[in-house]
Structure 1
């Protein structure tokens, strides 16, 4: 079955069928031709015999002698009748062929014309029924030639022969023709197989190469065996393989480039098909979908209703749509744009931007303005009020005037500290801070900072001590900046520790990190306020405000920036009523004094 479905089988069958059809038509025509040819040859032979007999009868006066000579002209399968006036003579007896009676000639319209009209007649006819039983043949060819003798007048010579003689010759010819046709079919079969195999061999190689190309092996080449159309097809196939390899490589490069661009984008990208199925996502978009599914306990393949609604709106209106949603306290702005395929929309693409930091920064900016305004309003109001008191000469004594002047001076210092802290914090956040690294003796450095606060600690009956557990004598950092951090943290610890309390500074170095802890036994910070203690202008409550003079609320923010600039980390732990511990660590720097 596979053979007939193959190109070899189809080509062989087509060639064989075509040649067989041609041979069939040619055999029919040849058989018809040879049959007619043999019949015509027989008719011509009989005509010549009849004409010769007529000549012999006319040349010899002796009728008997003429008849004998005439009978010699007749072969073994032919008979003749000589008719003169009312007399007629038959050629010698032949067992296979009977004599034709005169009545058959006289009654036949065509044969009687030889005697009546004196014309030559050639005719195929059948023997009479009375003669068929004795004869082997019933169809004959009969030729009638008129003669005219001086003593006898008009007559005729009839020569006839059975048609079976011609048929035997035709059968022999038919055998030769059929044999030749059979040989031709056999040779055609061999030739067809040879030709089809030769033609299909390169086609099979092309088929194998096509399967290799379909499996992604674009380097596969078809050998060029001929320079005909099949050879040109092989050349075209090889060129197609090279072009496919080039275009596939180009597509892969574009795909990788697009994938790299999508993966490196900070914004999320989701591509949808026409029915809303997700086709392509990048990592930020996947994070968005996972956050939504986690928040709503839904499958990650489901879209948020707002995003789904935005998609159908963009597709139906054929215009960009934008919205903003909040998922797990993160703000996302979504821009949905339709994708076109020439004349119709084939889907949409959504760009998701995480605006959490922008919204947070915007809130911080507003809070910063509000806090600065609040911090400046009090000293400015006091400066304005006490200045008016001096201008209006309300203070009657020098002592009152000095007191008013001292208040104005203190508030001016407070405003100066606030402005300086803001400038320092702004420079740090802008990255303009300068760090002058130096190898610092840890013990002497910590003791020097503690000595600054011994007086303040004694006033509140607070025990201020250091616990040095460091195995290293020195460490590389900016001593002025770290002293600023320690000053701020120790000052906060002392001022927020009750009288009779304790403040301990612990220094330790582990895993190439210098860790300094400031632990107090003060009032502590509520757990809900701990994430915000390093924000600008943040104050937990009135119990945490400075006593004696107001703070700016920027100290911890400055301390965090200094530590982070050292590539360190600062943390806080606290329990209300038990105390607070601020801890910061500095990595080891294998360098010597320089400006960072």
Structure 2
């Protein structure tokens, strides 16, 4: 496991190349050693068997000649020659040297060599001995393979024959084989090196692209992406995951920038909205303090104006606290089964008189058999009052406001639509933000927190809220509430009025 970390300063590509090379060469070297040993063993076995067969054949032939001649002299004259390329030594049954012949290129005399004499002695005892005999030539000293066999006649040992061929060098052929193996290893090493570099490049190139892209992102270039390799493996998955992560980071950074901008605008809006009533209070207070208003009725009116501005400030602070509490989940919701049709009827009973005075018709289009939802009735009433009041303030005389609902999946989708002035497309994504005022909502003295409160309440219920609008045609705001698991159908309810005070106009 440490092979990749032996050279800590090398690149991953270099480490991979070295690892591939080490594994491949290790395997090749092991195979080379096995082959060399096998070749050496096969060569020795083959040469030994051939020399043994030659020695046994000569021993048998010498026995035949000895039997016909009746003496060793005839054998020596016929079969032992200085021109014989082999070292050939013959003894009688008592170990007496009969003949010894060596090739002319052997410089050292081997006839009395201890290895030779010991082998002949063993053969006189009936053994076949083999080994290596050192021979000295002009080209150096070699180990020559030898065989010593007994010469028998009628199952009696009559002598021994020592045969060695100095032209058979046990190290010559294996040396040639080893040279060939070494050249093969070098050739394989070059091939392995080439393919190691090729494979390592293909493996590390996507990683290099990812590293470069990550470096670019570290410098704030969040639009950086990589081209996933068509490898159908972990590298392709890693590149795809990186791109998805980059998409998320880019979106998050964009959202952070937008939130930072919204925070600045929020502070500016709070400062502006607080400054207006405070300036009015200051002016009215100074006028009263300096007796600039002599008329008693006028002074009372001024004091009432101060009270209204104070109430406006208190309402703004209360709304801010409410939004903050809802968004931080500090408000405990009283969740219970809720019939949305009945709740809409109760809410319309509060706002319908004002709509009638403005010539606006209001319609509850929710079916009485709509499934129950799990919600806090007081909070949902607040949501409906805010949305209905917002629709009322921006719907002209003769307009229409309707409320509908339909179950989809695990949620009930509820919408409030009007035929009012509509919202510009540029303002639509921001109408649920704190203090955001679109052109259609800049009148009426609102605090700019109404829709922010609505969104916070719906989010606290685990629902969502969205808006669709078209200028001069109307607006539709849709929110979702979770249905009861039982999905029970409610019976047609009887509408009843409740004592709910309308929420002052304070939406976007």
Aligned position for 1:490: 388
Instruction: Check whether the contact 1:513–1:588 (CA below 8 A) recurs between aligned residues.
Output: yes
The alignment yields a C-alpha RMSD, in angstroms, of 4.5
Partner-residue secondary structure (3-state), 2:427? helix
Q: Deviations over 1:306-334 (max 9, x none)?
A: x59x57xxxxxxxxx95212439x9xxxx
Query: How far apart are residue 545 of structure 1 and its match?
Result: 2.3
Aligned position for 1:13: 43
Aligned position for 2:176: none
Aligned position for 2:442: 545
Query: How far apart are residue 589 of structure 1 and its match?
Result: 2.6
Aligned position for 2:338: 440
Instruction: Check whether the contact 2:399–2:419 (CA below 8 A) recurs between aligned residues.
Output: yes
Instruction: Check whether the contact 2:422–2:474 (CA below 8 A) recurs between aligned residues.
Output: yes
Question: Relative contact order (alpha carbons < 8 A, sep ≥ 6): 1 or 2 greater?
Answer: 2
Instruction: Check whether the contact 1:27–1:178 (CA below 8 A) recurs between aligned residues.
Output: no
* Partner of residue 219 from structure 2, selected from 317, 323, 329: 323
Instruction: Check whether the contact 2:91–2:159 (CA below 8 A) recurs between aligned residues.
Output: no
Instruction: Check whether the contact 1:470–1:509 (CA below 8 A) recurs between aligned residues.
Output: no
Distance, in Å, in 2 between the alignment partners of 1:453 and 1:426 is 27
In the alignment, structure 1 residue 374 sits paired with structure 2 residue 433: no
Change (3 A) 1:478 1:39: closer
Aligned length: 315
Q: Deviations over 1:82-119 (max 9, x none)?
A: xxxxxxxxxxxxxxxxxxxxxxxxxxxxxxxxxxxxxx
Partner-residue secondary structure (3-state), 1:557? helix
Query: How far apart are residue 539 of structure 1 and its match?
Result: 0.8
Change (3 A) 1:370 1:427: same
Change (3 A) 1:473 1:392: same
TM-score, normalised via structure 2 length: 0.53
* Counterpart mapping for 1:383-402 below 5 A: 383-402=281-300
* Structure of greater Rg: 1
Aligned position for 2:29: none
Change (3 A) 1:377 1:273: farther
Q: Deviations over 1:136-190 (max 9, x none)?
A: xxxxxxxxxxxxxxxxxxxxxxxxxxxxxxxxxx9x9xxx9999679x99xxxxx
Change (3 A) 1:31 1:433: same
Aligned position for 2:406: 508
Q: Deviations over 1:32-89 (max 9, x none)?
A: 999995599xxxxxxxxxxxxxxxxxxxxxxxxxxxxxxxxxxxxxxxxxxxxxxxxx
Aligned position for 1:573: 468
* More deviation, 440-449/576-585: 440-449
* Partner of residue 564 from structure 1, selected from 454, 459, 462: 459
Query: How far apart are residue 508 of structure 1 and its match?
Result: 3.5
Query: How far apart are residue 459 of structure 1 and its match?
Result: 2.7
Distance, in Å, in 1 between the alignment partners of 2:99 and 2:392 is 147
* Counterpart mapping for 1:62-101 below 5 A: none
The unaligned stretches of length 5 or more in structure 1 are 41-169, 186-271, 281-300, 312-320, 331-348
Q: Deviations over 1:412-440 (max 9, x none)?
A: 11111111111111111111121112233
* More deviation, 420-429/457-466: 457-466
TM-score, normalised via structure 1 length: 0.46
Aligned position for 2:479: 584
Partner-residue secondary structure (3-state), 1:17? helix
* Counterpart mapping for 1:161-310 below 5 A: 277-279=205-207, 307=213
Structure 1 runs of 4+ aligned residues shifted over 4 Å read: 4-9, 18-27, 32-40, 176-182, 272-276, 301-304, 349-354
* Counterpart mapping for 1:526-545 below 5 A: 526-541=424-439, 543-545=440-442
* Partner of residue 430 from structure 1, selected from 328, 338, 342: 328
Partner-residue secondary structure (3-state), 1:508? strand
